[in-house]
C-alpha cells in the first residue's frame, strides 16, 4: 500500500521542529514500527538522517514506543501499542500524521523521542511497598482473595508508556498514578503505606507539571492496556481519606520522605 | 586464566549455608564508603541495585532505556519456578536442582544450581511482599502451573505478564532507593568501556545517549547485569536494544567468555511473515500445558486445519516423548519442529510453522477457562497474525530466545577479572547447555536479591583497594578509545546501512550456528563473518554526529561488537564436538536423532580469553564434576 507520512522532525530539545512529508510503500503484515524502519532505510539511502523514535521490545509490554498517530496515542486501534499496530489497519493512499507525545512534563529530546522520566519520579516518592530484601514471610501466609489479586493485576498491567498523558487535554498523569495507587492499595501488603503513598504521588505529579483530571476519560480510551478510569476514582477517594486522616496530616507536615 | 570456581566442598545441601558463614562482612558504617556500579536494570540489575542500596552501599545504576522499568526482563511471559511444593506433588529443592541440571544437559555446575533451587522459595516470598500480583486460587493461596522439562507444578505466574510484574516489583524497590538518594540512576546511558586499574575492575565509561557526552564513573566494584547476546542473530525474541557490548568490552579487558555457542531456541514463537520482519514474538511456553502440537501426516497438505481429520494428524511430541509430551524441553521441542518442517510437513506461508492447537482443551475446559489462562497471549497472536486462535490453531516456529553462555563467573558471581561481578543472563552459570522454562527469571532475581548482596561484601571486605577516581589515566585512555571508535564509525560514510550488515550476520548465524550446526557450516561462517566485518568497517553508513541523540550510531557500535562476537560463537561451536542442549551438532547424534553428548571430552565449560585485535583467542576449560547426580543420557521419553 502507498502511504504519505507527515512526521514531526526536531533535531534536538531546543531546536525548532516541523512536519516533514515522506512517501513510502508498506506491506499489510508490517507492524507500524517496521514500516518506519523501512522509511528510515530509505532516508539513509538518500543520505538523510533517520527518524528517531523510541521502541524496544516490540511486543507491547516494555512501554517504550510512543507515537501520536493521526492525533491518537498509539494510533487508531483500541488497546494496542504502536509496536503491535499493523499496517492492515490502514488503507492504500492514506496520509498518516506522526507526532511525539505532547505534554509539558514530557520534553521532546529529538524527533519523536520524549523524556518520560517524570513518571519514574512519581514512583520514586511512594509507588512501592517498603519490603527490604530478605525479610519476607512465606508467600502463602497472607491469603489474598482471587478477586482482589485479579483487580490488582488489572491495574498493575500499566506499561508506563504515557499514552494517558498524551491523550489528556490537560496532560494529566492521573491514570498512570492511579493505576499504581490501585495496584498496591488493593493488596493487604500495600495498606501500611496507603495514605502516605497517595499523598506523595499526587503531590509529585503536580510538581512535575502534569495537569489535573477533569474527567474527560480520553486516557482510558487511549490506554493500550485498557486501564480503567475507575482507578482514578479510587485514587481520589484514597487521597481524600488520606488528607482527612491523622496519618495524612503527619505526612503532609513531614514532607514526602 | 584463573578459573577457580570456588564452590565449597561438602554436602550439596549445606554448601551455600556454610559458604555464607565464611563470607566476610563489611560493617554498616563502612558500606557507604563503597561505590558500586551496576550496569543493567533488568531483574538481575534492579534487584541487585535495590538490595545493595538497602544494605548501605553507594550505588550507581545504568540503563540504555529511558527508564529502568523497560529492561527486557519485562517481556518474559510465562512464569518463575520455585520449589515450594505448595501443590503437594513431591517437589523439593533437590527435584528443582535435578531437573535444572538434567535440563541443562549436564553442562552446569552442581553447586550453583543447587543454590538456585534453594533460594527460589525466598524469591516468591520477596516478590509477594513487594506486591507482585501473582495468580491466586479462590481460597487466596498462590496458584501454580507446570512448564517444559518438569513433572511438577512449580511455576508461579502473573497472567502472561510474569516478567513484567517481577520487574516492576524490583523496579519499585529500586525507585524507592532512588527516591532516598541511595541509588543514582543513569538512564539513557550506555556502557562503552570497562576500566581496569591494577588488574581490578574499577569503573566504566558510559555515553549519555541524549547529549552524546562520554563520561567516566569510578567505583570499588562493577556489576554487569546486561542480559544476553541473542540479538547477534538479528531476528530473535529479544528487545531491539539488547546487545552484547558491555559483556564483550569486559571480555576484551580480560574477562573470560564462557560457552558462547549455547543459545536457546524457543519452540513457541510466531513464524516469520516477511523480509521486513524486525523481531520475533514469543508465545509463552505455558501454552504447551493445554495446546497440542501437530503437523499433517502428509507433506503438502494445504487443507484448513479443521478439515484435517485426527487420523491424518501427527502429534509428534506426544508420539516421540510420551512421558513429557507437549511439555518436552525447549531444545527438544524446537528441533522436533524443525525436523517436521524439513520433512515438508510445515504449515503456513513458507512451510516454516507447526500447529499449536487448543481445540481439545477448549472442548474439555470451555473457552472461558482458556481465556482466563491465556487470554492476553491469544489476543497478541491475533493482533500479529490476524487469525483467531480460539477458532483455528496457532502457527508457531522456533526462534532465538535466551543465551546460556556469558561471562565466566565463580560461585561468588565474580568473573576472573577481580572486581567484575556478572549476574543474570549476562553470566554463564546456572543453565548449562539449555535453559528450562521459568528459570531465567529465577536466576536473575536469585543473583540480585539473594546471592550478590552476600558475595559482594566478601570481595569488598577482602580486597585492598587503593583510592581511584576518574582522573586516573586508565579512565582517560578508555574514554579516548570509546570516542575514537565512535569517530571511526561516523567517518566511514559508506553506502550500506547498519541494519543490512546486522541482517546478513544474523542470517549466517541462524543458518550455520542455529538449531543445528555442522563442521562445514561453521567453517563457512568463520570465513564469511570476518569478510563481512571487514566490509562493515569500510562501507557502513552512519549519519549524524556523536554529540546528539543518534540511534544509528548506537546501533552501529552494537553491531560492530556482534560482528566480532559472532565469530567467537562459531569458533566455540566448532570445537565442541558433541551435541548438548541448545548446541546440536548434526555429526553427533544417536540413531534416533537425539543429542549425543561426549562427557569424556566435553564435560566442561569452555572459557575464551581475548588475545588482542585479530588474534585467535585462547580456549580454557573449567572441568565440571558431578558428585551428586549421575551423568545420564537425557531422556524425556
Strand-pairing partners, residue B185, are B61
**Using H for helix, E for strand and C for coil, what is the string for B343-357?**
CCCCCCHHHCCEEEE
Burial class (CB in 10 A: 0-12, 13-18, 19+), A96: buried
What's the pLDDT score for residue B149? 78
Cβ contacts of residue B116 below 8 Å, gap of 6+? B96, B97, B100, B430, B439, B442, B443, B446
Measured distance CA(B414)–CA(B407) in Å, rounded: 9
DSSP state of B270: P
Q: E-strand spans in chain A?
A: 2-9, 18-25, 68-69, 72-73, 95-99, 108-110, 113-114
Give me the residue label for grid cell 533460594. B119
* Secondary structure (3-state) at B594: coil
**SS3 of B335, please?**
helix
Q: What is the pLDDT of residues B190-203, one digit of tens each?
A: 999 999 999 999 99
Burial class for A91, CB neighbours closer than 10 Å (0-12, 13-18, 19+): exposed
Q: Looking at the partner chain, which of A41, A138, A152 has a beta carbon nearest the beta carbon of B499?
A: A41
Per-residue confidence band for A255, with pLDDT thresholds at 50, 70 and 90: very low
Residue among A54, A95, A149, A133 nearest B137 (CA): A149
Contacting residues for B516 by C-beta, under 8 A, at least 6 apart: B335, B338, B584, B585, B586
Give the rounded percent of residues in chain A with a pLDDT score beyond 70: 95
Total Cβ atoms within 10 A of residue B630: 6
CA dist A166 → A66, A232, B499 (Å): 9, 17, 31
**Residue A124 at interface with chain B, using a CB cutoff of 8 Å:** yes
CB contact under 8 A, B175 and A123: yes
Write down the residue that cell numbers 512519581 correspond to. A122
Chain B closest CA to A143's CA: distance in Å?
Answer: 4
Which residues, other chains included, contact B484 with Cβ-Cβ below 8 Å and sequence gap of 6+? none
Summarised one tens digit per residue, pLDDT across range A46-76 is 999 999 999 999 999 999 999 999 999 999 9
Cα-flanking dihedrals φ and ψ of residue B312, to 5°?
-105, 15
Using the Cβ of A189 and the Cβ atoms of chain B, whether some distance falls under 8 Å is answered with yes
CB contact under 8 A, A109 and B50: no
SS3 B221: strand
Positions of chain B with pLDDT under 70 = none
Distance CA A206, CA A172 (A): 9
The mean per-residue pLDDT over the stretch A136-161 comes to 97
B131 and chain A in contact, CB less than 8 A: yes
CA dihedral A220, A222, A227, A230 (to 10 degrees): -10
B179: which chain A residues are within 8 Å (Cβ-Cβ)? 124-126
Q: Which three cell numbers stand for residue B233?
A: 542473530
Distance of CA B26 to the CA centre of its chain: 31
Helix (H) / strand (E) element for B461: namely helix B452-462
pLDDT at residue A237, as a whole number: 97
Residue range A161-188: average pLDDT?
Answer: 98
Contact B125 A137 (CB under 8 A): yes
Encode pLDDT of A73-102 as tens digits. 999 999 999 999 999 999 999 999 999 999
Query: Cβ contacts (< 8 Å) between B50 and chain A: which residues?
Result: 133
Cα distance from B312 to chain A (closest Cα, Å)? 31
Beta carbons of B273 and A29 less than 8 Å apart? yes
Q: What count of other Cβ atoms lies within 10 Å of the Cβ of residue B368?
A: 10
- Interface mutation vs chain B, best among A31, A58, A133, most B CBs within 10 Å: A133
Per DSSP, B605 falls in state E
Greatest C-alpha distance within chain B: 74
- Residue from the list B67, B140, B282 with its beta carbon closest to the beta carbon of A143: B140
DSSP 8-state class, residue A32:
H
pLDDT of residue B286: 83
User: Cβ B172–A128 below 8 Å, yes or no?
Assistant: yes
The pLDDT, as a whole number, for residue A247 is 65
Q: Rounded mean pLDDT of chain A?
A: 95
Q: How many Å lie between the alpha carbon of B541 and the closest alpha carbon of chain A? A: 8
CB B525 within 8 A of CB B569: no
User: Is the separation of the CB atoms in B340 and B347 below 8 Å?
Assistant: no
List of chain B residues whose C-beta atoms are within 8 Å of the C-beta of residue A31: 278, 384
Residue A236 has pLDDT above 50, yes or no: yes
A59 closest CB neighbour out of B134, B173, B281: B281
- Identify whether the C-beta of residue B236 lies closer than 8 Å to the C-beta of residue B229: no
Tell me which of B330, B373, B576, B634 is the catalytic residue: B330
Whole-structure pTM value: 0.96
Q: Is A128 on the interface with B (CB under 8 A)?
A: yes
Torsion angle in degrees (nearest 10) through CA of B94, B96, B100, B103: 110
Distance CA B554, CA B529 (A): 21
Pick the closest to residue B384 from B396, B372, B398, B400 (CA basis). Answer: B396
Can you list the alpha helix ranges (DSSP code H) found in B493-618?
498-513, 519-539, 551-575, 599-602
Residues 34-93 of A with CB under 8 A from B: 34, 37-38, 41, 44-45, 47-50, 52, 54-64, 80, 84, 86, 88
**ipTM entry:** 0.96
Is B330 a known active-site residue? yes
Q: At how many degrees (to 10) do helices A174-185 and A194-207 cross?
A: 170
**Residue in B closest to A106 by C-alpha:** B66
Kindly list the distances between the CA atom of residue B49 and the CA atoms of A137, B75, B175, B409, B423, in Å, as whole numbers in the listed order. Answer: 22, 20, 10, 19, 12
Contact B383 A190 (CB under 8 A): no
Look-up of cell digits 476514582:
A233
Q: Tell me how crowded residue B76 is: count the other CB atoms within 10 A of its CB.
A: 28
Q: Do B161 and A136 touch (CB under 8 A)?
A: no
Asked if the Cβ–Cβ distance from A56 to B54 is below 8 Å, we say no
Q: Which of A63, A133, A145 lies closest to B54 in CB terms? A: A133
B491-502 burial code (b ≥16 CB/10 A, e <16): ebeeebbbbbbb
Chain B, window 64-123: residues with a beta carbon less than 8 angstroms from a chain A beta carbon? 65-70, 72, 74-75, 84, 86, 122
Asked if B272 reaches chain A (Cβ–Cβ under 8 Å), the answer is: no
Residue B110 to residue B97: CA distance in whole angstroms: 8
Look at residue B636 in the predicted model and tell me its pLDDT. Answer: 80
User: Which residues from A are below 8 Å from B133, CB to CB?
Assistant: 149-150, 152-153, 156, 183, 187
Q: Do A189 and B137 touch (CB under 8 A)?
A: no
* pLDDT tens per residue, range B532-544: 999 999 999 999 9
CA distance A239 to chain B (A): 20
Residue with cell 516533514: A20
Strand pairing category for B80-81 and B155-156: antiparallel
Amino acid at each position: 500500500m502507498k502511504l504519505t507520512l507527515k512526521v514531526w522532525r526536531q533535531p534536538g530539545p531546543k531546536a525548532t521542529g516541523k512536519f516533514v512529508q515522506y512517501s513510502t510503500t508498506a506491506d499489510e503484515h508490517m507492524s507500524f514500527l517496521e514500516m518506519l524502519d523501512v522509511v528510515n532505510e530509505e532516508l539513509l539511502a538518500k543520505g538523510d538522517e533517520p527518524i528517531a523514535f523510541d521502541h524496544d521490545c516490540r511486543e507491547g509490554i516494555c512501554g517504550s514506543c510512543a507515537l501520536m498517530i493521526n492525533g491518537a496515542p498509539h494510533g487508531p486501534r483500541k488497546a494496542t501499542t504502536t509496536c503491535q499496530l499493523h499496517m492492515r489497519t490502514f488503507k492504500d493512499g492514506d496520509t498518516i500524521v506522526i507526532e511525539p507525545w505532547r505534554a509539558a512534563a514530557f520534553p521532546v529530546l529529538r524527533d519523536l523521542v520524549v523524556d518520560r522520566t517524570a513518571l519514574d519520579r512519581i514512583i520514586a516518592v511512594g509507588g512501592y511497598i517498603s519490603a527490604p530484601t530478605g525479610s519476607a514471610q512465606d508467600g502463602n501466609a497472607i491469603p489474598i482473595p482471587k478477586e482482589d489479586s485479579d483487580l490488582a493485576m488489572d491495574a498493575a498491567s500499566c506499561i508506563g508508556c504515557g499514552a494517558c498523558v498524551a491523550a489528556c487535554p490537560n496532560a494529566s498523569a492521573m491514570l498512570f498514578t492511579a493505576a499504581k495507587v490501585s495496584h498496591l492499595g488493593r493488596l493487604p501488603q500495600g495498606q501500611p503505606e496507603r495514605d502516605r503513598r497517595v499523598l506523595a504521588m499526587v503531590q509529585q505529579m503536580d510538581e512535575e507539571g502534569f495537569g489535573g483530571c477533569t474527567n474527560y476519560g480520553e486516557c482510558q480510551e487511549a490506554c493500550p492496556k485498557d486501564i480503567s478510569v475507575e482507578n482514578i476514582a479510587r485514587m481520589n477517594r484514597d487521597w481524600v481519606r488520606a488528607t482527612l486522616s491523622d496519618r495524612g496530616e503527619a505526612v503532609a507536615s513531614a514532607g514526602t520522605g | 586464566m584463573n578459573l577457580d570456581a570456588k564452590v565449597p566442598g561438602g554436602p550439596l545441601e549445606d554448601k551455600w549455608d556454610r559458604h555464607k558463614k565464611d563470607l566476610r562482612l563489611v560493617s554498616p558504617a563502612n558500606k557507604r564508603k563503597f561505590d558500586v556500579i551496576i550496569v543493567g536494570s533488568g531483574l538481575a540489575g534492579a534487584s541487585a541495585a535495590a538490595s545493595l542500596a538497602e544494605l548501605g552501599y553507594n550505588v550507581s545504576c545504568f540503563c540504555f532505556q529511558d527508564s529502568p522499568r523497560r529492561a527486557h526482563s519485562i517481556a518474559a511471559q510465562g512464569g518463575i519456578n520455585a520449589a515450594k511444593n505448595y501443590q503437594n506433588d513431591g517437589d523439593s529443592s533437590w527435584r528443582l536442582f535435578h531437573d535444572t541440571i538434567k535440563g541443562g544437559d549436564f553442562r552446569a555446575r552442581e553447586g550453583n544450581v543447587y543454590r538456585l533451587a534453594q533460594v527460589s522459595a525466598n524469591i516468591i516470598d520477596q516478590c509477594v511482599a513487594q506486591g507482585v500480583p501473582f495468580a491466586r486460587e479462590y481460597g487466596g493461596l498462590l496458584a501454580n502451573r507446570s512448564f517444559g522439562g518438569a513433572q511438577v507444578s512449580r511455576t508461579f505466574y502473573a497472567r502472561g505478564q510474569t516478567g513484567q510484574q517481577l520487574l516492576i516489583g524490583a523496579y519499585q524497590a529500586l525507585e524507592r532507593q532512588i527516591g532516598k538518594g541511595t541509588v543514582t540512576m543513569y538512564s539513557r546511558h550506555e556502557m562503552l568501556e570497562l576500566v581496569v586499574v591494577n588488574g581490578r575492575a574499577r569503573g566504566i565509561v558510559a555515553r549519555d545517549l541524549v547529549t552524546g557526552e562520554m563520561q567516566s564513573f569510578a567505583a570499588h566494584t562493577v556489576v554487569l547485569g546486561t542480559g544476553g547476546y541473542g540479538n547477534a542473530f538479528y531476528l530473535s525474541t529479544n528487545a531491539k536494544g539488547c546487545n552484547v557490548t558491555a559483556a564483550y568490552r569486559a571480555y576484551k579487558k580480560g574477562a573470560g567468555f564462557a560457552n558462547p555457542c549455547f543459545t536457546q531456541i524457543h519452540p513457541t514463537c510466531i513464524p516469520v511473515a516477511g523480509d521486513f520482519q524486525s523481531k520475533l514474538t514469543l508465545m509463552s511456553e505455558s501454552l504447551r500445558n493445554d495446546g497440542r502440537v501437530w503437523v499433517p501426516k502428509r507433506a503438502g497438505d494445504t487443507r484448513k486445519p479443521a478439515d484435517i481429520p485426527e487420523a491424518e494428524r501427527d502429534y509428534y511430541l506426544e508420539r516421540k516423548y510420551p512421558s513429557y509430551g507437549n511439555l518436552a524441553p525447549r531444545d527438544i521441542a524446537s528441533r522436533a519442529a524443525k525436523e517436521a518442517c524439513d520433512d515438508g510437513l510445515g504449515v503456513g506461508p513458507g512451510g516454516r510453522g507447526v500447529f499449536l492447537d487448543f481445540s481439545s482443551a477448549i472442548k474439555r475446559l470451555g473457552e472461558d477457562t482458556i481465556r482466563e489462562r491465556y487470554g492476553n497471549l491469544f489476543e497478541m497472536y491475533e493482533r500479529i497474525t490476524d487469525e483467531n486462535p480460539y477458532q483455528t490453531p496457532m502457527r508457531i516456529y522456533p526462534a532465538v530466545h535466551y543465551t546460556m553462555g556469558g561471562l565466566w563467573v565463580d560461585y561468588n558471581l565474580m568473573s576472573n577479572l577481580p572486581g567484575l561481578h556478572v549476574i543474570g543472563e549476562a553470566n554463564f552459570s546456572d543453565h548449562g547447555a539449555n535453559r528450562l522454562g521459568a528459570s531465567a527469571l529465577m536466576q536473575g532475581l536469585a543473583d540480585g536479591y539473594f546471592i550478590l548482596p552476600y558475595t559482594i561484601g566478601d570481595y569488598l571486605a577482602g580486597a585492598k583497594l587503593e583510592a581511584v577516581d576518574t582522573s586516573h589515566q586508565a579512565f582517560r585512555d578508555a574514554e579516548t578509545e570509546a570516542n575514537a571508535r565512535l569517530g571511526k564509525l561516523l567517518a566511514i560514510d559508506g553506502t550500506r546501512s547498519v541494519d543490512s550488515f546486522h541482517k546478513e550476520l544474523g542470517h549466517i548465524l541462524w543458518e550455520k550456528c542455529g538449531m543445528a550446526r555442522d563442521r562445514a557450516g561453521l567453517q563457512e561462517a568463520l570465513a564469511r563473518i570476518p569478510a563481512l566485518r571487514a566490509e562493515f568497517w569500510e562501507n557502513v553508513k552512519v549519519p549524524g554526529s556523536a554529540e546528539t541523540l543518534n540511534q544509528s550510531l548506537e546501533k552501529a557500535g552494537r553491531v560492530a561488537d556482534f560482528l566480532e562476537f559472532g565469530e567467537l560463537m562459531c569458533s566455540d561451536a566448532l570445537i565442541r564436538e558433541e551435541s548438548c542442549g541448545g548446541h546440536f551438532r548434526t555429526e553427533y547424534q544417536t540413531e534416533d536423532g537425539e543429542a549425543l553428548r561426549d562427557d569424556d571430552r566435553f564435560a566442561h565449560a569452555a572459557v575464551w580469553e581475548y588475545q588482542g585485535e585479530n588474534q585467535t583467542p585462547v580456549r580454557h576449560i573449567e572441568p565440571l564434576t558431578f558428585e551428586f547426580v549421575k551423568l545420564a543420557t537425557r531422556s524425556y521419553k
